[in-house]
Amino acid sequence: MQDAFGQPFFLTEHYQVPVRYREGDSKNQTNSGKTQRKPLSNITNKNLENDVNTIMESYSEEEIESVESPDFCFDEDLETNTSKTSEDTSMEIDETTEEVEEDNNNLADFVNSLHVSEKKYRPSCTYMQLQLDLNSNMRAILVDWLNEVAQEYKLRDETLYLSINLTDRFLCTCQIGRGKLQLVGITALFIASKYNELDPPKVEDFVYITDGTYDKEEVLKMEALMLNKLEFNLMVVTILDFVNIFLKGINADKITQDMANYIAELTLQEYSMLQYLPSMVAASTIVVSLATLSLPFWCDTLQELSGYKGYELNKCIQDVFGVHKSVYTGKSKLTAVREKYMKPKRSRVSTIPPTSSPPIFV
């Protein structure tokens, strides 16, 4: 196979960041990149009074006198006019119920669209057969290190998930030597940060974090190569997208959210998890998380949003549970994710022991 690094490419310094991640617009940006808000000091009572006087002068006295009084008055009927009747309360409850049902329907429609998209940019679960100098253990070490880098630069979780997707998809396209694997990973994180972050680290920061293993030119050249190989398709659906939706659907509390995010990040390290769709891994993650916290781990909402029946998740649940248990018992030597979720702001969920056996549907 032709050497992937011998091809000339031209680098585009910046590419478009999605609108949903932007804050403000170019007209309100200062040189430091911060959003400059206009002061409110020019809105005063004097300005308001002048505006009112100008409007009143435009009406004649007859027109002003002809204005009718409001239909309500502040007299003995005040309580009748202001208090809510049981009928009014019932109507409000009905309206609230309709809004909740509408939100759930909209959420279900959105999930259906994600189910279609997740298959489009899904990396192959057999690409390691193409890589003659790599193995799944090397990939796991890389993912663990990328998690540490993401924490060091305070990157969003979405950025980490996207970088791993880009890494896997790129490795599906060409052979890479083990000496270049870290370069692929750090470049994927560089690309993902420019896509997701409002203030992404500079290329020099990513060069520095590799302890000088690669220089700026190598990272930029790899960036151009990866973007061309991936045809600039960066808007992908990840496990995290589904996890967030499922958590929202079941109205999960803080500790449940942290537990689900913890176990989901653990699955990123496992090459074998690529055999499952992101939605299936996410649903299985929610099940294992709820079971770990001794909560009911399945409901109609999860089945509707995930699109899976419980028994269809059994194999994936066993694998997710195995990953969780391996890290808790110390069998896995990768510690970045576990240490991340030992912190109080993450509810110390990595210190909570897994169940004795995986939650299986019969």
pLDDT of residue 102: 59
Which DSSP category does 27 fall into? G
CATH class, 127-229 region: mainly alpha
44-48, 98-102, 121-125, 130-134: least confident range = 44-48
Beta bridge partners of 29: 35
pLDDT of residue 107: 74
Dist. CA 36–CA 41, nearest whole Å: 15
Q: What angle do the packed helices 314-328 and 254-268 form, to 10 degrees?
A: 90
* SS3 assignment, position 35: strand
CB 107 within 8 A of CB 305: yes
* SS3 assignment, position 29: strand
Residue 136 has pLDDT above 90, yes or no: yes
User: Is the CATH code 1.10.472.10 the one for domain 239-351?
Assistant: yes
Nearest Cα residue to 140 out of 317, 295, 269 = 269
Summarize pLDDT for 31-54 with one digit per residue, the tens: 444 333 333 333 334 443 444 444
Residues 6+ apart with CB under 8 A from 39: none
pLDDT of residue 224: 97
75-79, 86-90, 137-141, 280-284: least confident range = 75-79
pTM over 0.85: no
Per-position b or e across 16-28, b if 16+ CB within 10 A of its CB: eeeeeeeeeeeee
Strands (E), the chain: none
Which DSSP category does 312 fall into? G
**Cα–Cα distances in angstroms (integers) from residue 308 to residues 103, 244, 251, 317, in the given order:** 20, 17, 19, 12
Residue 132 has pLDDT above 80, yes or no: yes
Nearest Cα residue to 267 out of 303, 243, 298 = 243
Residue ranges per structural domain of the chain: 127-229, 239-351
Residue 274 has pLDDT above 60, yes or no: yes
Task: Assign 94 a pLDDT band (cuts: 50, 70, 90).
Answer: low
Dist. CA 212–CA 218, nearest whole Å: 11
pLDDT of residue 113: 85
Nearest Cα residue to 221 out of 261, 262, 180, 179 = 180
Q: Which residue has the higher pLDDT, 158 or 116?
A: 158
pLDDT of residue 26: 37
Q: What percent of the chain has pLDDT over 90?
A: 66
CA atoms within 13 A on the CB side of 248: 15
Nearest Cα residue to 181 out of 227, 230, 140 = 140
Burial class (CB in 10 A: 0-12, 13-18, 19+), 47: exposed
| DSSP letters for 242-279 | HHHHHHHHTT--HHHHHHHHHHHHHHHT-GGGGGS-HH
Q: What is the mean pLDDT of residues 2-18?
A: 40
60-69, 150-159, 301-310, 340-349: least confident range = 60-69
Dist. CA 337–CA 269, nearest whole Å: 10
Summarize pLDDT for 202-239 with one digit per residue, the tens: 999 999 999 989 999 999 999 999 999 999 999 999 99
Summarize pLDDT for 157-209 with one digit per residue, the tens: 999 999 999 999 999 999 999 999 999 999 999 999 999 999 999 999 999 99
CB 35 within 8 A of CB 23: yes
State which amino acid sits at residue 333: K
